[in-house]
Every structure is written in structure tokens, then in C-alpha cells.
Amino acid sequence: MERSLFKEKEAFKKRAMAVPVVENKKKRPTESSSAEPPKKKSSKPAPSETSSYKSVSGNNFRFGVLARIVKHMKSRHQEGESHPLSIDEILDETNQLHIGSKIKTWLITESLPNNPKIQDADGTGRYIFKPSLRVSDRKSLMKLLRHNDMKGLGGILIDDIQESLPHCDKIMKQVDKDILKIVRQTDKKQIIFFHDKGIQFPVEKEFIQLWRNTSVDGLQDDNIEEYLNKQGIKSMQDTGPKNLVPIRKRSKQRKQRATKLSDNEHLAHLLETYDET
């Protein structure tokens, strides 16, 4: 080996020895590092979420029980069964005897007494269905329709009649000639009116056509008059005298009685007249 190369080798070793070397020593395990690794988050809901879910599901179950009872009581009424039932009989007929004591207490103390479709028949905890209308047969239905017609109260929804009247389909066929059926345009519901045959009179087709073509829905009296004028129809005006002053009735005057002199009547025979001569 040449001396030049040997000198370069020795110089390289010296430079390498002069450079400091840092060793990476392994750290000893500490208490924090020796602890268990962090647990993964569980997918289970929090206790508050679980309790709220249980409360919602419990309320749904309660109201489901109540809805089933109301539906059953309604069907009983429509079939003509009017005798009241106790809470145990209702639960038996609706196949809900498995409910707990809390729900049963809730039905007795809160839900059934406050339900608009259920009423306590005799105040002893025996319940019946409470219909919208007080009709039980054909006679009572016609009486109600006639009363509404005379008082100007309008018709009755067929839905209310079907809910309240036992054996509704059979009775509606019997009174078909005595009623009028009109479909309401707003919600397409059918309304029943009393058909008063005593006020029937012939109407010319021209007036019928005008009546059907004139729409006054949602208009007041002033707007109706303005609308009729635009259509070339003169509205009826009040032609009677205006600003009439009410006539006051004269009170009967008492007749005055002639006053009589009542003083010194016992001396009337002594009075003398002195005429001028």
C-alpha cells in the first residue's frame, strides 16, 4: 500500500473518532406506559338515551292500549250494544289482560275519565261510548234533522251520523226519501239535510243557472253586492222609508174630577142671597 493512501486512511480514522456519537437508549417502562391501552368506545347508547327511548316506547304502548279500547267501545255502540262495561270486562274483550297495574291505574284515573269519546255511565266505573250526536234510531235522527232545519243550524256530517247511530246503513236506507245529500267542496265530505217537501216550488232554469254560476264563497255582504253589480245583476235594495222617527204612544190623561166645596156644609140652610134691586 502506498504511503499516501495509508496517510489518508489514518486521517479518516482520526476524523471518525473525533465525531461524537449519540446512542438511543430504550426507555424503561413507566407506570403510565405500563397501564392498559385505552378502551374502544362502545356503540351502546348512553343511559339518558336509553331511558328516553324506554319512556317513549312506554307511552306508545299506553296510548296503543287506549286507542284499542276506544275503537272497541265505538264498534260496540254502532252494533247496538249500549250496556256499560267495567275496566276488567273491557280489557277482557280487547284481549289486553296482560297489561301491568300501572297502566291499568292510568286508564282508570286519567285516560278514560278525560277521554272525550268515553264516559262513565253510572259513576261506578262502568264505561260506555260517548257519540258525537244523541241519536239512537230513525225517529231521533229525523227529529234532529228537522230541528236543525227549523233553527237554521244547517246539515249534519255523515261521519258523525255513522259514528253515533247504531245500524246506520240500515236506517239511512229507510230515510233516503226524507233527506238531502250534499258533498262539501272544501273537503269532499257528505252532509245530510232535512228534505222539507212542503216548501217545494218550481224554479225557472234561468234562475237555477244564475244561482249555480254565481260564486260568493268568502265574500261579505258589501262584496257580494259589488260582485253582482259587475255581473249585471241588480241586488235587492231596501225600498222602505228611511229615518223613521218612532211614534210615541200618548199616555192616557186622567180625567179631572170637579172639586166640590166641602167646607161648612152644615150651614148651607142659613145662606141667603142679596140681589141688587
132-189 pLDDT, tens per residue? 999 999 999 999 999 999 998 889 999 999 999 999 999 999 999 999 999 988 889 9
Q: Has residue 246 got a pLDDT over 70?
A: no
Mean pLDDT estimate for the chain: 79
Residues of the chain with pLDDT > 90: what percent?
43
Cell for 243?
229615518
Contact assessment for residue 142 and residue 194, using Cβ atoms and an 8 Å cutoff: yes
Contact assessment for residue 195 and residue 179, using Cβ atoms and an 8 Å cutoff: yes
User: pLDDT higher for 42 or 146?
Assistant: 146
Lowest-confidence range among 131-135, 146-150, 237-241, 262-266? 237-241
List, for residues 108-117, the tens digit of each pLDDT value: 999 999 999 9
Q: Has residue 54 got a pLDDT over 80?
A: no
Q: Supply the pLDDT for residue 229.
A: 83
User: pLDDT higher for 69 or 224?
Assistant: 69
Phi, psi of 214 (to 5 degrees): -95, 120
Q: How confident is the model at residue 106 (pLDDT cuts 50, 70, 90)?
A: very high
- Rounded to an integer, the average pLDDT of 229-236 is 73
Q: Supply the pLDDT for residue 161.
A: 95
- Rounded to an integer, the average pLDDT of 247-264 is 60
- Rounded to an integer, the average pLDDT of 211-217 is 74
Taking the alpha carbons at both ends of the chain, their separation in whole angstroms is 211
- Rounded to an integer, the average pLDDT of 5-20 is 72
- Rounded to an integer, the average pLDDT of 33-62 is 62
d(CA 186, CA 168): 25
Q: How confident is the model at residue 96 (pLDDT cuts 50, 70, 90)?
A: very high
Cα dihedral 57, 58, 64, 66 in deg (nearest 10): -160
On the CB side of 135, CA atoms within 13 Å amount to 27
